[in-house]
Amino acid sequence: MAATMKAVVVHEPGPPDVLAIEDRSVPEPREDWILIRVKAFGLNRSEIFTRQGHSPSVSFPRVLGIEALGVVEHSPDPAFRPGDVVATAMGGMGRAFDGGYAEFVQVPAAQVKHFPDTLDWATLGALPEMIQTAWGALHTGLRAAGEGTLLIRGGTTSVGLAAAVLARRHGLKVIATTRDPARRSLLIDNGADDVIVDTGTIAEAARAAVPGGVDYVLELVGTGTLMDSLACVRQGGRLCMAGIVGHEWVLENFAPMFTLPKGVDLTAYVGGADDFVATPHDAFVEEVEAGRARVPMGPVFEMDGIAEAHRVMESNEARGKVVVLP
């Protein structure tokens, strides 16, 4: 095994250019942790916020990355053998300890799972956190039954695209939103039954499409559209907030008694390491292999393109999951 590795290190908060590729020592084996040779890692918006300095618990320098996919290099746990294809996500990666933006990453064994190896590395690398978030938002956050209508606010995000695929397989009718009319075909091709162009207020259009209101809303834009999204939901329906692509975290001057619609549930979903391990990634890969589902892929970069990869994600140009191959 090599003594050094390439890693993407952030020494201080800032724009994408602060992502510096450096030579670092490969982590020394430690008890109950698994060393993984990274073959691919997906990018996530939370990593933008950390890079910008908006994560107060994160100290620098830090190797970012809340997920990674690769092969086991060293494991004290007999359940994982060298050469096994595995994935890991959450659990403090890229925040409490160095994450997946590297040629090797070492993580607690409890947040590692075996992963199918029947697709190429880039496609597999898109799946760990994206499918975990989409699956968890639908089944834990929304507790969506296999019928009714789901509105995805922020439909062209990687999680939004993945949620559309999963929701259609689950039996839901899907309406997705986009601010760009030119992306309508992207959403329809990805499984949406209908598309609403998001002008900032869509409740009237949503209720025109579904009289009485939709059954479920997956809110991926943030608090800036939250109240309008709640107005799309029928009485007895549910909204789950699971993303903040609009960069607005806090709902100002929130008066629940006067602003929340009657009889509409409001919840949120933020998955952890346990949720990641429990996500049925194998079943989704089988659906992809059988041609019954597709992976919403964005551009694929090599590690030396990490700054450009962040720019693409941050500017909402990706049209799918951005993946890096170390």
**pLDDT higher than 80, residue 276:** yes
**pLDDT higher than 80, residue 214:** yes
* Spatial distance between the Cα atoms of 284 and 174, rounded to a whole number of angstroms: 18
Q: How would residue 244 be classed by pLDDT, with cut points 50, 70 and 90?
A: confident
* Spatial distance between the Cα atoms of 164 and 192, rounded to a whole number of angstroms: 6
The pLDDT > 70 percentage for the chain reads 100
Q: What is the pLDDT of residue 144?
A: 95
Please give the single-letter amino acid code of residue 220.
L
Q: Which residues contact 21 (CB under 8 A, 6 or more apart)?
A: 6, 7, 8, 9, 303, 304, 306
Instruction: Quote the crossing angle between the two packed helices 281-289 and 128-136, to the nearest 10°.
Output: 110
* Spatial distance between the Cα atoms of 172 and 292, rounded to a whole number of angstroms: 15
**pLDDT higher than 80, residue 185:** yes
Q: Other C-beta atoms within 10 Å of 264: how many?
A: 18
Judged by phi (left if over 0) then psi (alpha if -120 to 50, else beta), residue 85 lies in beta
Q: What is the pLDDT of residue 321?
A: 97
**What is the pTM for the complete model shown?**
0.94
Average pLDDT for 23-37:
96
Query: What are phi and psi for residue 26, nearest 5 degrees?
Result: -65, 135
Mean pLDDT over all residues of the chain? 95
Q: Which long-range contacts (CB under 8 A, 24 or more apart) does 312-319 make?
A: 313/43, 313/45, 313/48, 314/16, 314/48, 316/156, 316/157, 316/245, 318/158, 319/156, 319/183, 319/186
Of 169, 70, 118, 167, which Cα lies nearest the Cα of 285? 118
> Cβ distance 314 to 16 under 8 Å?
yes
3 state SS for the chain: CCCEEEEEEECCCCCHHHEEEEEEECCCCCCCEEEEEEEEEECCHHHHHHHCCCCCCCCCCEECCCEEEEEEEECCCCCCCCCCEEEEECCCECCCECCCCECEEEEEHHHEEECCCCCCHHHHHCCHHHHHHHHHHHHHHCCCCCCCEEEEECCCCHHHHHHHHHHHHHCCEEEEEECCHHHHHHHHHCCCCEEEECCCCCHHHHHHHCCCCEEEEEECCCHHHHHHHHCCEEEEEEEEECCCCCCCCCCCCCCHHHHCCCCCEEEECCCCHHHHHHCCHHHHHHHHHCCCCCCCEEEEEEHHHHHHHHHHHHCCCCCCEEEEEC
Q: What is the pLDDT of residue 258?
A: 84
**pLDDT higher than 80, residue 246:** no
pLDDT digits (tens, 9 = 90+) for 164-181: 999 999 999 999 999 999
Q: In terms of residues, how long is the chain?
A: 326
Q: How would residue 270 be classed by pLDDT, with cut points 50, 70 and 90?
A: very high
- Site of tokens 């194998």: 282
Q: What is the pLDDT of residue 248?
A: 73
Q: Other C-beta atoms within 10 Å of 258: how many?
A: 6
> Cβ distance 215 to 148 under 8 Å?
yes
pLDDT digits (tens, 9 = 90+) for 57-67: 999 999 999 99
